[in-house]
Chains A and B, each alone.
Chain A
Amino acid sequence: MTVTVSRLANGLRLATRHMPHATSVSVGIWVTVGARDECENEQGMAHMLEHMAFKGTTRRDAQTIAAEVENVGGYMNAHTSREETAYYLRLLPENLELGVDILADILTDSTLPTAEIERERGVIIQEIGQSLDTPDDLVFDLFARSCFEGHTLARPILGTVESVSGFSQKDLRSFLQRHYGAGQMLVVAAGAVTHDLLSALIESRLGHIADATTAKRQPAAWQGGRQIVERQLEQSHIVFGLPVMANTIEERFALMGLSTLYGGGMSSRLFSRFVKSGVFAILFFPLPR
């Protein structure tokens, strides 16, 4: 496997992992914007924009985007986290040009149709409700708040019903322009792909876009707080955490080794202590931020 990284003149980075035995290719665009980059009245906007990206461009409506991917047997998805938003496709290699064209299209020429905004607002408000009704989702949002109360990292990625209800097409367009620039994008492909081919395709589709004006991220300070929500459930969902920084590869794997040994599998220490006694289910992992 060969990894190659380069940068276009406009600052956009791209990387490929050529896998000689692969018969498909995964290609995605990672954008360094997430919930932590949202202003007070923008809570949930990075996530809503991820939904809206698939809802139409100047050249394609929502149905055409889905059909063009599925016509060639491709798979398309996206996710939003607190620190990134990513859009990706898995395709057969002969369809890479189509995949890159669709990804570039949805990130640079989205029309954000108002009817689709209203539809997605409803979908997201349902998602928020679903998350609030899912204790093992809710507890991690509460945990983020207990770690970083007062910082944007403490907020839920989905936003709130109130914030999402207020987003307009103008707001979404402004957020897109401020955060989706060449310097904020990383294009990555892996599988049956060469760097030269990816580079040529990306230069052609994204070589012209300008940088964005994303504000510098503010570092978060650990709060070590406490968040408790009482619910009439059969089980309690409890998360506790402590801050630690893994600065080197060796320290990062020491942390991962600890995670595995302490609570990572059916032979781990916590599994032995709790689950074998039939009392608890547990999960232990480092939050890698």
Chain B
Amino acid sequence: MLSVSAAELAAVATAVSADEVERAKAQLRANLLMARESVSASGDALARQIMLFGAPQSDKELLAAIDGLDPGAISAMAGRILESSAPAVAVVGPKSDVMSNAELARLLAA
């Protein structure tokens, strides 16, 4: 599982298709707008924006950031994640040979 996940993340850092990105943008946009129909979700989002960033962020600003996403931005973000040489790993389950953190780091860097 870890080896496939690592390989797939590395693949995203190399290239993603325009179709995949447009689908992700549509999901983010719809999630944001549909959440705005709920008073609870709207209040929660406002609180989180202020607590995390110190000020509210306008939906216009958020939607513009979503619209501006392109394959390069997503691949670049995946590349930044892969720059870390120290993955953290947690496992609960039957005794198994989960690869070492060093081996996972090697796969991610490949």
Contact = CB atoms under 8 A, between A and B. Distances in A.
Contacts of A232: 94
Nearest to A227: B90
A152 to B, nearest CB: 17
A29 B86 CA distance: 37
Interface SS of chain B: helix
Chain A's interface size range is 35 or more
Contacts of B90: 139-140, 142-143, 145-146, 226-228, 238-240
A262 B8 CA distance: 8
Interface string B73-100: 1101110111011111111111110101
A249 B87 contact: no
B98 to A, nearest CB: 7
B43 A253 contact: no
Contacts of B12: 258, 261-262, 269
A207 B41 CA distance: 26
B14 interface: no
Contacts of B68: 250, 253
Residue from A25, A249, A270 having most chain B Cβ neighbours under 10 A: A249
B104 to A, nearest CB: 7
B47 to A, nearest CB: 4
B44 to A, nearest CB: 8
Given A1-B36, A254-B74, A15 B89 contact: no
B8 A249 contact: no
Nearest to A83: B51
A111 to B, nearest CB: 27
A1 to B, nearest CB: 7
Contacts of A265: 27
Interface SS of chain A: mixed
Contacts of B42: 1, 17, 19, 26, 190-191
Contact of A253 (B39, B66, B80): B66
Given A28-B47, A238-B98, A260 B24 contact: yes
Interface in A222-270: 222-233, 235-244, 246, 249-258, 260-262, 264-265, 267, 269-270
A81 to B, nearest CB: 10
B34 interface: no
Given A86-B47, A229-B91, A254-B77, A274 B4 contact: yes
Contact of B88 (A86, A191, A223): A223
Contacts of A211: none
A239 B89 contact: yes
Contacts of B98: 228, 236, 238
Contacts of B85: 224
A280 B84 CA distance: 26
Nearest to A238: B91
Given A190-B42, A227-B91, A269-B8, 5 more contacts: A135-B93, A142-B90, A188-B50, A232-B94, A257-B69
23 contacts: A1-B59, A19-B42, A135-B92, A139-B92, A143-B88, A146-B89, A227-B89, A230-B93, A232-B94, A233-B92, A236-B92, A238-B2, A240-B87, A240-B88, A240-B104, A242-B88, A253-B62, A254-B69, A256-B28, A257-B25, A258-B12, A261-B23, A264-B27
Interface of A: 1, 3, 5, 13, 15, 17, 19, 22, 24-28, 30, 32, 83-84, 86, 88, 90, 135, 138-140, 142-143, 145-147, 186, 188-192, 222-233, 235-244, 246, 249-258, 260-262, 264-265, 267, 269-270, 273-274, 280, 282, 288
